[in-house]
């Protein structure tokens, strides 16, 4: 077997590796062994190419057709395999076998941004898709949701308009993966139904720290149907076991520059390291009586049901424990359809859900080129499939035998499948009546009450971030009339918020927009709507970045590592050179990052572990100053040795050190510092370092 450091070179000096060195034999797609893959077949030297070279032609043909159309929305995504385990017996509510207590079902989960293309950065301010394909023994169930429980619009007919407005303007082709432009806010300001979603997208929910620290929601109200045919309403929730976490806006901008693949890398690395992310699946289950009494229409996708009104019942857990083998084959080709449900799960008359059920199948046909996209392994059910459907591009599972129709008289052995009146999917027999109109229900008319409830449910730092986000986004809007319209809507949500944004835009406060229905102003705050209020107080799954120099205290470094490991966190070493540092005990330790490529935005908390000589070397280094200054500005917990003070002075933060900054002198200090990290941010610092504070 050839070794990597023992390569044979050809006449051009390039490595030449062959099957004779122990590698597998390369073949064409027809399985024909390939003798030459470095040069194409020529007539003489350097003569013209010969068409006899079928390997070259096949290789180039396949390369020329490698790309398929990207998704119109959710183009930038990342996926992983896993397993779902049901932890509750739900037979009272549903006959779906996936919810039999103790049952384990394979899943594929894809996270994504909505607005950007495949090449856009991960930490753009955007809604995140959270789609899960359950390979149940009754067929595939696709729970196609988002990390936000509501949506912009109430009727699917407006979806093309929404996406067109959010995407780059057609005349100029920009901005990419951003909503800070005229078209988007023009649409929003002219569509009052979007105001609840506007509050969510301007919150920290749209700049998550990681897919692993993100909630997921089915958005719509679905049905559960039990074996007796009784129906209940349900809303689906995914709750991350390690809690929620987001970044601040300035941090997001720098993350996209430092690592535009930040979320992808984070998920891959966590699974690869065996730190498998988990989510609990929760359900809000309620009946028609509750729906009739609830002040909002449960079929309105711009509304939530607060958890205080209907608690979330945890019914199972999902663990993502396998990275994909090939990104294109799985993550890019996975096809989700909201219409894919299994017996025991059904639809409601939510007009947005009904439109999605129509749209998704057509979308997958366009992207994947054939109605046989269900034959692609990532989309194949894991249960038996028997149909009379045949032919089409890439047909791989045509019916066997003579019968490709029914009814037929060929008998049970050769006649093919038939409907199953006992096990087959049964739609809930909901009674339907009424005139055929384009009317939208009057119960959908309240556009501000829950928007206000979401805002008042946030902590003070989160409310500040929302005001900052609205001010920033609207500051990129060129036309004052659009800015004015948006602020007029904000006055129906929260007067102080409207005034703050108007002040930030130097805009005269406009009259409130006229609501279709007077908003309810006394809906109580709901803590589960706040990321900060729901902090679990853990550093598990997070990462401490330790900037270390030659001569740094080896014992202190060891103590920090041990303390972080005990909390379930990770440590990365950043150094002036990636080759590493020589510690106080004389041992050399390799670094994970060079300071130029390892800025503090990559970490949840940081330490400056310097010797005096190391501090002298780094104090005039711009990336080193940024490492300290950004960590402080982003309200992160900061540990430092006394020797690091010259750098902190150069970074302009030495005089402002606060309770979130801990001087590290020994193992006890290290343990105390790491014990603070579960708070994730020292929010009290933020008003001191932010002009908008």
pLDDT per residue over 277-310, tens digit each?
999 999 999 999 999 999 999 999 999 999 999 9
550 and 405 housed in the same domain: no
Mean pLDDT (whole number) for 473-491:
98
569 and 679 housed in the same domain: yes
User: Phi, psi at residue 128, to the nearest 5°?
Assistant: -110, 130
Look at residue 689 in the predicted model and tell me its pLDDT.
83
Judge whether 260 lies within some domain: yes
Residue bearing the bigger pLDDT, 13 or 593: 593
Judge whether 449 lies within some domain: no
Look at residue 22 in the predicted model and tell me its pLDDT.
87
Confidence of residue 1 (pLDDT cuts 50, 70, 90): very low
Confidence of residue 6 (pLDDT cuts 50, 70, 90): low
For residue 646, whether the previous peptide bond is cis, meaning omega lies within 30 degrees of 0, is: no
Quick: pLDDT tens for 244-267: 999 999 999 999 999 999 999 999
Using the Cα atoms of residue 665, residue 667, residue 673 and residue 674 in order, give the sign of their dihedral: positive
For 6-10, 233-237, 331-335, 338-342, which range has the lowest pLDDT when averaged over its residues? Answer: 6-10
CA distance 474 to 543: 34
Does residue 396 register a pLDDT over 90? no
Look at residue 50 in the predicted model and tell me its pLDDT.
87
300 and 395 housed in the same domain: no
Burial class (CB within 10 angstroms; exposed 0-12, middle 13-18, buried 19+) of 408: middle
Confidence of residue 614 (pLDDT cuts 50, 70, 90): confident
Quick: pLDDT tens for 93-148: 999 999 999 999 999 999 999 999 999 999 999 999 999 999 999 999 999 999 99
Confidence of residue 692 (pLDDT cuts 50, 70, 90): low
Does residue 203 register a pLDDT over 80? yes
For residue 407, whether the previous peptide bond is cis, meaning omega lies within 30 degrees of 0, is: yes
Quick: pLDDT tens for 48-78: 888 899 899 888 888 888 889 999 999 999 9
- Which residues, in sequence order, are CB contacts of 634 under 8 Å at separation 6+? 247, 248, 250, 251, 600, 601, 681
Look at residue 693 in the predicted model and tell me its pLDDT.
46
Total tally of structural domains belonging to the chain: 3
401 and 342 housed in the same domain: no
553 and 594 housed in the same domain: yes
User: Phi, psi at residue 131, to the nearest 5°?
Assistant: -110, 135
Question: Looking at 379, 397, 430, which one is the last position of a domain?
Answer: 379
Tell me the three state secondary structure of residue 250: helix
- DSSP sequence for 639-674: EE-GGGHHHHHHTT-GGG--TTEEE--SHHHHHHHH
Look at residue 615 in the predicted model and tell me its pLDDT.
86
CA distances from 532 to 56, 357, 375, 536, 544 (A): 58, 35, 44, 9, 20
Question: Looking at 367, 400, 419, which one is the last position of a domain?
Answer: 419
357 and 396 housed in the same domain: no
336 and 407 housed in the same domain: no
Judge whether 531 lies within some domain: no
141 and 241 housed in the same domain: yes
Judge whether 448 lies within some domain: no
215 and 356 housed in the same domain: yes
> pTM of the full predicted structure?
0.94
Look at residue 438 in the predicted model and tell me its pLDDT.
87
Question: Looking at 321, 355, 379, which one is the last position of a domain?
Answer: 379
Judge whether 597 lies within some domain: yes
Any idea which residues carry the catalytic annotation? 74, 146
339 and 413 housed in the same domain: no
Look at residue 432 in the predicted model and tell me its pLDDT.
87
Q: Given the structure tokens 């993350």, which residue do they identify?
A: 255
Look at residue 289 in the predicted model and tell me its pLDDT.
98
Residue 406 and residue 418 in contact, taking contact as beta carbons nearer than 8 Å = yes
329 and 399 housed in the same domain: no
CATH of the domain at 306: 2.40.180.10
280 and 367 housed in the same domain: yes
Look at residue 20 in the predicted model and tell me its pLDDT.
87
Quick: pLDDT tens for 487-498: 999 999 999 999
Mean pLDDT (whole number) for 387-416:
89
Residue 575 and residue 590 in contact, taking contact as beta carbons nearer than 8 Å = no
CA distance 147 to 132: 12
Does residue 11 register a pLDDT over 80? no
Which residue segment(s) compose the domain that 310 sits in?
A: 77-153+205-379
């Amino acid at each position: 077997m050839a070794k990597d450091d023992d390569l044979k070179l050809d006449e051009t000096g390039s490595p030449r590796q062959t099957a004779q060195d122990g590698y597998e034999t390369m073949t064409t797609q027809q399985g024909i062994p390939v003798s030459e893959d470095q040069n194409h077949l020529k007539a003489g030297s350097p003569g013209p190419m010969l068409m006899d070279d079928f390997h070259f032609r096949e290789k180039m043909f396949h390369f020329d057709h490698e790309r398929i159309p990207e998704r119109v929305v959710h183009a930038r995504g990342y996926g992983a395999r896993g397993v779902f385990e049901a932890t509750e017996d739900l037979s009272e509510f549903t006959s779906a076998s996936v919810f039999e207590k103790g049952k384990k079902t394979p899943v594929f989960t894809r996270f994504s941004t909505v607005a950007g293309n495949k090449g856009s950065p991960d930490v753009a301010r955007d809604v995140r898709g959270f789609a899960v394909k359950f390979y149940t023994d009754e067929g595939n169930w696709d729970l196609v949701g988002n990390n936000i429980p509501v949506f912009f619009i109430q009727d699917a007919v407006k979806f093309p308009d929404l996406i067109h407005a959010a995407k780059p303007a057609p005349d100029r082709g920009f901005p990419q993966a951003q909503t800070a432009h005229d078209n988007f806010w023009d649409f929003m300001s002219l569509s009052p139904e979007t105001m609840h979603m506007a509050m969510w997208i301007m919150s920290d929910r749209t700049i998550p720290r990681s897919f692993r620290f993100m909630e997921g929601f089915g958005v719509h109200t679905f049905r559960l149907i039990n074996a007796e045919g009784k129906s209940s309403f349900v809303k689906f929730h995914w709750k991350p076991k390690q809690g929620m976490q987001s970044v601040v806006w300035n941090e997001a901008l720098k993350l996209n520059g430092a690592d535009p693949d930040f979320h992808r890398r984070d998920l891959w690395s966590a699974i690869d390291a065996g730190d498998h992310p988990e989510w609990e699946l929760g359900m809000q289950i309620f009946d028609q009586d509750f729906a009739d009494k609830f002040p909002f229409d449960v079929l309105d996708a711009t509304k939530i049901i607060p958890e205080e009104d209907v608690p979330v019942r945890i019914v199972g857990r999902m663990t993502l424990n396998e990275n994909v083998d090939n990104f294109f084959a799985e993550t890019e080709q996975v096809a989700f359809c909201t219409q894919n449900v299994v017996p025991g799960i059904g639809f409601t008359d939510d007009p947005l859900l009904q439109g999605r059920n129509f749209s998704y199948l057509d979308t997958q046909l366009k992207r994947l080129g054939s109605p046989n996209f269900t034959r692609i392994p990532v989309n194949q059910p894991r249960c038996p499939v028997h149909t009379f459907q045949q032919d089409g591009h890439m047909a791989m599972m045509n019916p066997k035998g003579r019968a490709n129709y029914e009814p037929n008289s060929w008998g049970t052995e050769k006649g093919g499948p038939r409907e199953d009146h006992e096990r087959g999917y049964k739609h809930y027999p909901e009674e339907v009546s009424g005139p055929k109109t384009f009317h939208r229900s009057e119960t959908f008319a309240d556009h501000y009450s829950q928007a206000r409830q979401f805002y008042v449910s946030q902590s003070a730092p989160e409310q500040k971030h929302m005001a900052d986000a609205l001010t920033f986004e609207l500051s990129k809007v060129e036309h004052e009339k659009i800015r004015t319209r948006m602020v007029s809507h904000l006055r129906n949500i929260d007067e102080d918020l409207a005034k703050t944004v108007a002040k930030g835009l130097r805009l005269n406060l406009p009259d409130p927009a006229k609501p279709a229905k007077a908003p309810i102003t006394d809906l109580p705050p709901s803590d589960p709507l706040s990321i900060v209020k729901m902090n679990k107080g853990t550093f598990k799954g997070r990462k401490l970045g330790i900037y270390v120099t030659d001569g740094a205290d080896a014992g202190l470094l060891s103590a920090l590592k041990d303390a972080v490991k005990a909390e379930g966190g990770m440590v990365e070493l950043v150094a002036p050179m990636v080759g590493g540092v020589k510690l106080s005990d004389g041992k050399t330790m390799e670094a994970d990052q060079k300071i130029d490529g390892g800025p503090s935005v990559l970490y949840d908390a940081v330490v400056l572990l310097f010797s005096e000589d190391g501090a002298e070397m780094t104090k005039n280094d711009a990336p080193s100053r940024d490492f300290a200054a950004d960590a402080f500005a982003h309200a992160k917990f900061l540990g430092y040795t006394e020797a690091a003070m010259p750098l902190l002075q150069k970074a302009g933060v030495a005089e402002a050190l606060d309770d979130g900054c801990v001087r590290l002198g020994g193992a006890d200090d290290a343990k105390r510092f790491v014990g603070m990290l579960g708070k994730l941010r020292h929010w009290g610092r933020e008003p001191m370092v932010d002009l908008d504070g």
